[in-house]
Amino acid sequence: MKTIFKTGLLAATVLTATSVYGDPSSDVSFASCDSGVCTISGTVDQDYTMVAGTDYVLSGTVKV
């Protein structure tokens, strides 16, 4: 499964990523992670890799 973000409003949407690599808790201003759930908010202004087994929640308006 591949998830593609589009610019626009997505509130309280949960995405589960599969077949990707990286650390979801890397230091980026638009993501915060806690206990296997990462919240994405604001502007995604750099590359970000979603990790299998982690849930991703979009909070408010997320601009990509």
- Find where tokens 């995604």 sit: 44
At 1, list the tokens: 């499964």
The ranges assigned to domains in the chain are 8-63
Q: Around Cβ 50, how many Cβ atoms within 10 Å?
A: 22
Residue-wise pLDDT for 40-58, tens only, equals: 999 999 988 888 999 999 9
pTM: 0.60
Amino acid (one-letter) located at 33? C
Average pLDDT for runs of 10 along the chain of length 64: 47 44 67 92 92 93 95
* Pairwise CA distance, residues 64 & 56, whole Å: 15
